[in-house]
Chain A
Amino acid sequence: MLEQQLSDLESAALARIQDARSPQDLELVRIEVLGRKGSLTLVGKDMGKLPPEDRARIGKLLNRAKQELESASESRQRQFDAEALEIRLRAEWLDLTLPAPGPQMGHLHPITQIQSEIEDLFVSLGFAVLDGPEVEDEYHNFDALNIPADHPARDMQDTFWLSDGNLLRTHTSPVQVRGMERLGPPLRMIAPGRAFRNENVDASHEHTFYQLEGMMIDRDVSVAHLIYFMKTLLSAIFRREVTVRLRPGYFPFVEPGFELDIQCLICGGPGCPVCKQSGWVELLPCGLVNPNVLRMSGIDPEEWNGFAFGLGLTRLAMMRYAIDDIRLLQGGDLRFLQQF
């Protein structure tokens, strides 16, 4: 009799749970059946009135009905949760093609980029990166580099003279001298930086440009080493195997002095407009350090020797990025700078 009542109660409650239209509905059913005054709870309270021989059996039935209904209610609740989540997620649709707020990433100057790259390359080869003043004295810019006053080589470098007798360095080579004075041999150093020549500006000439001076002083440095070094370096810079050649070039601070050419990267040698049909592109001056230069910096040329070279960062940047007007580099025009 009681079993039947329990069973009816359970099926009615189950049906209501399934029929609940909302979490509130469900909660109502749960309270009405399983709450403190719920119909099933009340059945439990009447258990005491049962004969002892029925109590255990009915108790078991009651518990099972409770569990069934709780589980059904939870499962229905989960359905509601899932539906609610589904609705929320659908409502949270977002147009991710909208532009991101805040400033875009800024841009480093092309010379900065190429310079950093080359600095890192040299540091990995054990070279120190040195700095020197942009306003130099005549001694460090000329005399100590074996270019005394009245030397015609001074014509090769049109100089900005300052009213105090100093000058704007015409090359980064004076940093060599300062490096030798400060650090002594053996020495491996580069000096990237700004240099100045007093010439009129046009698409291919600038009075302000960037160079990277390099020098290695050791006990036994040969032309063969210089070629090796330049080839290794330039292959790294151009990210491919390059062929280099040396030919005589005159720079008072080196002896012998060379112009280093690389085989044209555009045509690979047969000749094209870029290399003016010669197959070679002049890239940098270099040479074995002139013994006078070593001596002037207090280094004994019988004991030490070395090589030096000057890399035109401006030129390199123009080559790499196909920049056809040198004035863009100092022009501050964002249409240009934002391309790097």
Chain B
Amino acid sequence: MKFSYNWIREYVPALDTPARQLERLITIRTAECEGIEETGGLLARACTAHVVSVEPIPGSHNVKAIVETGVYGRKVVVCGAPNCRPGMFAAYVPIGKKAIGGVESDGMLASGAELGVNRDDAGILELAGPVGAPLANCTPDSIIEIDNKSITHRPDLWGHYGMAREVAAILRQPLRDPVQPSLIPAGPASIPSPINVDIQDLDLCPRYSALVFDNVTVQPSPLWLQYRLTAIGLNPINNIVDMTNFIMSELSQPMHAFDRDLLRGDTIFIRRAHEGEYFLALNEQDYTLGPSNLVIADAQGAVALAGVIGGMDSAIVAGTSKIVLESACFNAAGVRRTSSALKLRTDASMRFEKSQDPANTVRGLARAVELLQELSPGLRLVGGLADQRKPIPPPPPILLPMAWLVRKLGKEVSPDEVRDILERLAFGVSQHTPGTFSVTVPSWRATKDVSVKDDLVEEVGRMIGYDSIEPKPPAILTTVPPANEERAFHRRVRAAFADQGFTEVYNYSFVAEADARAFGMQPADHVTVANPIAPNQSLLRMSLLPELRANVLENSKRFDTFRIFEIGREIHKQPQGLPREIPHLAAALYSKDGDGAAGLFELKRAAECLMPGAETRPTAARPYEHPARAAEIHWHGALVGRLFELHPSLGEGGTAMLDLDLTLVQAAAPKEKRYTPFRRYPSSAFDLSVVAGERELVGDLRGKLAALAGPLLQSIDYQRQYAGPPLAEGTKSVSFRLTVGSLDRTLSSEEVSEIRARLIDGMRAQGYDLRL
């Protein structure tokens, strides 16, 4: 929302704080300013000039004009505007001498757009004279831009008068109300209006007020009005529309003018739209409405979308002579629903959805009466005010105990100061009981913004200045916070992988359909985003692998070997309620050269650092896994994840991948550590070499030996394997070192030999040859 400094000063006449300083004060006390823009700079020196003569410049579309400026004397200017002609009055700006097409131009004749008073750049601005006069009520201005988010809760700050009230309160200066309520005709008996108002849903429209005018002349607005609107980013259209926009920007009261002669019947209905009702809006779009949309209707149908936009069929046009001026209040949620459903946000809807003040409608009309007298001379008000409203009881006063307020702020504030601050902001303050004020809320703050005493803490706090509050340490109990085991565990996992050389990546929670499919998942099984930012980000990831693979592909363009991992959540659809979010670790080791085996073993080692004693069991590969290089990882009896090489069709070079369900890993991790005394009796060790088929798993052989060895086995360690002569083709020899011993004695050599013999016989019985 843009605010004009000059406009604010109309209501705070004593305002002399420079705009930059005012901007800072508003930021600290009221709402966030996003910056200041200077506008109308040329107006400082512009004056009305009479064009005395015009002569063409050969070979140019420009003309050479002699102008009489009064203040600056007679000047020669070069002008390119098609409307530059002798006898006219134009705006002259002494910007210095400049040669244009061989002719020296001393200053310029300016267009409305160049001056900043409107957006017209088709020709130079035409004025009425007299020569030498400055442009009436058009002076350089500073436009303060306020962040809309910071006034979401303040319906009153969507107009200059509301902001002026803040400024007056901040600077302790008087505030002038532009509204003269007496301009609304009233008498002992109410004067009937020529138009009837029939609100059919008082919740959606708590108030609808209207006035009827005739003898209207639709014409361009005076320059000052065009300038005000242009300066804050609105487009001047004609005097009637500009007047409604002006009052909206002044009082935060959106208004709408209908051409009376285009309304059918004498009654304005405010009702829910019929199912399928057609409406052609002022923006030349047509809409099909339904009962969730509130419309303004005449006897035939919708003429405006309540609080959002007017209709084309009853719009003010050049020949309009009789108007109905609407000033209403619509329910915030209702307007918001309609505006978001139709994707139609307007200056009006933006204001109504902040919960406007129903008391403001008639104020807006009173202001209109005053303005229209100037903007459309000869116009007449027909009859009195049409006004229907929902009875809204005034909100109960808020009890504000001073001691409570002081405790909340953490700073001593005197009751006098509190009263002064609140009264400057138009709250009513009276003593309720000793130490407690009774505070009444002004209507424009009562719609949503202020309803409980906590809201008053803010009013007092911001006006005394939060910077005046000394920081104080809180007096709270010393407690040890409850531990977050899961987070602590994830930290250990991160540290373990970083220690092993893996670099952490963060990926999005979204996955593309094609990527999900490549990893064997069906799009339909995913939780899906209803309004994705891009079509390939519509699924919530059920696996970290697809994106990790993308990381691998991307980085493999630059690195021959690297290690990455991510800890993130898999999101799994549930039959009802929230999805299950399962923390996973996914790691990848890419190596451009080599056969991929080293990478897999390095990744296996990393997994074992995290899970000492974990078992890697070869298993049937999934489609995205190398068919002969896929395994399950088991730890303490639980299947916790998979280790595999990425299927070559999904990426060149060897990519080893690990995927662990961290919930399962954490659950399987031993909770306690306990010291075991050293063995007191020496152990004995011997080696055995088993000849087996070349694809027989070392892990299986080891398991068989372990099973045969019996309870005295202490450890069994793989030593090496060998294939080649003199072994038969297709076989290999695998050597293990076995250590046996007892906790309570030294084994005799006979016992050791017996174990060894048992192993040899047992393996032979299973068909294995042993190399002794």
Q: Which residues does A use to contact B, with CB under 8 Å?
A: 102-109, 111-112, 116, 119, 123, 126-131, 133-137, 149-153, 155-156, 160-164, 166, 168, 183, 186, 188-189, 194, 196, 198-201, 207-208, 216, 218, 220-225, 227-229, 231, 245-250, 252, 255-259, 276, 278, 288, 290-291, 301, 305, 329-330, 332-335, 337-338
Contact of B454 with A106 in the complex, beta carbons under 8 Å: no
Contact of B408 with A134 in the complex, beta carbons under 8 Å: no
B467 at the interface (CB under 8 A from A): yes
Nearest-CB residue, chain B, relative to A248: B462
Expressed in whole angstroms, the minimum distance between the Cβ of A247 and any Cβ of chain B is: 5
Given contacts A104-B501, A162-B527, A332-B554, contact A223 B461 (CB under 8 A): yes
> 3 tightest A-B contacts by CB?
A224-B410, A103-B501, A222-B410
Question: Which B residues touch A162, using CB under 8 A?
Answer: 527-530, 540
Nearest-CB residue, chain A, relative to B31: A248
Question: Which A residues touch B473, using CB under 8 A?
Answer: 225, 228
Residue in contact with B507 in the complex, picked from A111, A288, A332, CB distance below 8 Å: A332
Given contacts A255-B454, A259-B32, contact A136 B503 (CB under 8 A): no
B452 at the interface (CB under 8 A from A): yes
Q: Which residues does B use to contact A, with CB under 8 Å?
A: 24, 27-32, 35, 149-154, 332-333, 336-337, 353-354, 407-411, 452, 454-455, 457-458, 461-462, 466-467, 469-482, 484, 486-487, 491, 494-495, 497-509, 527-533, 540, 547, 550-551, 554-555, 558-559, 562-565, 569, 571, 573, 578-579, 581, 602
Given contacts A128-B482, A134-B509, contact A107 B571 (CB under 8 A): no
Given contacts A103-B500, A333-B555, contact A247 B409 (CB under 8 A): no
Report the bound CA distance from A218 to B410 in whole Å: 14
Expressed in whole angstroms, the minimum distance between the Cβ of B523 and any Cβ of chain A is: 12
Contact of A119 with B487 in the complex, beta carbons under 8 Å: yes
Expressed in whole angstroms, the minimum distance between the Cβ of B142 and any Cβ of chain A is: 16
Given contacts A126-B479, A222-B407, A224-B472, contact A107 B498 (CB under 8 A): yes
Q: Can you list 14 contacts pairing A with B, beta carbon distance less than 8 Å?
A: A103-B500, A109-B506, A131-B484, A133-B578, A135-B578, A156-B149, A160-B531, A222-B408, A223-B469, A224-B471, A225-B473, A245-B466, A250-B151, A332-B550
Contact of A188 with B481 in the complex, beta carbons under 8 Å: yes
Expressed in whole angstroms, the minimum distance between the Cβ of A21 and any Cβ of chain B is: 44
Contact of B501 with A105 in the complex, beta carbons under 8 Å: yes
Contact of B506 with A330 in the complex, beta carbons under 8 Å: yes
Given contacts A106-B497, A106-B501, A135-B578, contact A225 B528 (CB under 8 A): no
Question: Which A residues touch B408, using CB under 8 A?
Answer: 222-223, 288, 305
Contact of B466 with A161 in the complex, beta carbons under 8 Å: no
Contact of B481 with A106 in the complex, beta carbons under 8 Å: no
Contact of A221 with B466 in the complex, beta carbons under 8 Å: no
Expressed in whole angstroms, the minimum distance between the Cβ of A276 and any Cβ of chain B is: 8
Expressed in whole angstroms, the minimum distance between the Cβ of B590 and any Cβ of chain A is: 10
Question: Which B residues touch A131, using CB under 8 A?
Answer: 484, 486-487
Question: Which A residues touch B31, using CB under 8 A?
Answer: 248
Question: Which A residues touch B467, using CB under 8 A?
Answer: 245-246
Question: Which A residues touch B152, using CB under 8 A?
Answer: 152-153, 155-156, 250
- List 12 other contacts, CB 8 Å, given A129-B487, A255-B455, A258-B466: A103-B500, A105-B501, A106-B498, A126-B478, A131-B486, A150-B332, A152-B353, A163-B527, A166-B578, A220-B474, A225-B471, A332-B505
Given contacts A103-B563, A112-B504, contact A135 B481 (CB under 8 A): no
